[in-house]
Amino acid sequence: MDIIIVCHTEFGFVDNKKIIFDKKAFQGVEDGVVSLIKLAKKYGAKITFVVCPEVVDFFPKNTDQEIGLHIHPGWEEFKKNQFKWYVGDQYLKERCRQSLFSSALQDHPYSEQFDMIKAGKEHLKESLDIEPKVFVAGRGSLNSDTIRALIKNGFTHDCSAIANKKLPYFDWSKLPRICMPYHPNSEDYQKKGDLPILIVPASQTIFRRPIAPEGVSSYGISWFKVCFSEYYRQNVPLFHIFTHSPAMTDPYYFSVMDNFLSFISKHNDINFKFTSEIKEYPINNFKTDILSYLFTPNKEIVKTIFRKLLS
């Protein structure tokens, strides 16, 4: 089984197990990246850091890891408890025309998407001396225009997909829960085709919960392990983990990632890879093993259900 770890590299900090994407919290990049690299070296893992243009000056040099591009367009205010922050990219905001404040890339016209992707790529290339090939859209939001813009800008892999799920700012509802990498169709990015870019969806538990340490406080690490075992037993060829760099500044989420990588490393035939190394796999239909989830004790899920019932 191939394993990829994609880190969305952004400013921020953790408060009460919630990431606050405060643009003044430089430690989300400076410390979070270093912490994750140390953990990767412990297990022989590889990390693909998808980097926001606005954080480039704070990204550590000579990491020996893969670097891709992460874009949050627009400029929208978000709130969590007593905290407020803006989702968007200051670097792109100052250099690219954006006719909308929306932080969903799918809402922006093709020309603006193209310009943001081009400007972000050139900034990474000039500052970090790399040619990014991997892309992640902020909030998982893209459309067929985005795919076209990525191809024209030389990208080969996209890791934005949260399969089998639709929200107001993204639509990946046509993909199965266990979805392997595929080349999209020119008319519909959710259908298989022959475009020269590979969409690499994130792995997920039942209830469409992606495998990201930040979700553990809601649905528990026991289901992370059940999910991995579900994939492993069926010989699913790829397992895709993602995280956000601010999470790796927090001892709780760092320990979750440590625990999970330790669990994975005990299995045979595990190959950690950079995202750009991933290719298409033979077509197969994988099944959801719902019983393995239902019969695995999960106190975090119980807590979450009770919180929702009482709220």
Average per-residue pLDDT for the chain: 95
Return the pLDDT at 219: 80
Could you tell me the pLDDT band of residue 220, with boundaries at 50, 70 and 90?
confident
Q: How far is CA 60 from CA 26, 29, 51, in A?
A: 12, 8, 11
Return the pLDDT at 208: 87
At 1-35, the pLDDT tens digits run 999 999 999 999 999 999 999 999 999 999 999 99
Return the pLDDT at 300: 65
Could you tell me the pLDDT band of residue 309, with boundaries at 50, 70 and 90?
low
Q: What percent of the chain has pLDDT over 70?
A: 95
Residue whose C-alpha is closest to residue 47's, from 34, 28, 56, 57:
34
Q: Given the DSSP bridges, would you call strands 134-137 and 83-88 parallel, antiparallel or unpaired? A: unpaired
- Please say if the pLDDT value at position 274 is more than 90: yes
Q: What is the CA radius of gyration of the chain?
A: 18
Burial of 64 (C-beta count, 10 Å sphere; 0-12/13-18/19+): exposed
Return the pLDDT at 218: 79
- Please say if the pLDDT value at position 307 is more than 70: no
Mean pLDDT, to the nearest integer, of 226-241?
98
Return the pLDDT at 297: 63
For the full predicted model, state whether its pTM sits above 0.85.
Answer: yes
The three-state (H, E, C) secondary structure of 117-147, written as one string: HHHHHHHHHHHHCCCCCEEEEHHHCCCHHHH
Q: What percent of the chain has pLDDT over 90?
A: 88
Mean pLDDT, to the nearest integer, of 187-199?
98
Residue whose C-alpha is closest to residue 93's, from 112, 107, 79:
112
Tell which wins on pLDDT, 91 or 290. Answer: 91
The matching CATH number, chosen from 1.10.1520.10, 2.40.50.140, 1.20.210.10, 3.20.20.370, for 2-310 is: 3.20.20.370
At 52-101, the pLDDT tens digits run 999 999 999 999 999 999 999 999 999 998 999 999 999 999 999 999 99
Mean pLDDT, to the nearest integer, of 215-234?
92
Residue spans of the domains in the chain: they are 2-310
Could you tell me the pLDDT band of residue 250, with boundaries at 50, 70 and 90?
very high
- Please say if the pLDDT value at position 272 is more than 80: yes
Mean pLDDT, to the nearest integer, of 205-220?
89
Return the pLDDT at 207: 86
At 171-186, the pLDDT tens digits run 999 999 999 999 999 9
- Please say if the pLDDT value at position 310 is more than 80: no
At 252-270, the pLDDT tens digits run 999 999 999 999 999 999 9
Mean pLDDT, to the nearest integer, of 112-121?
99
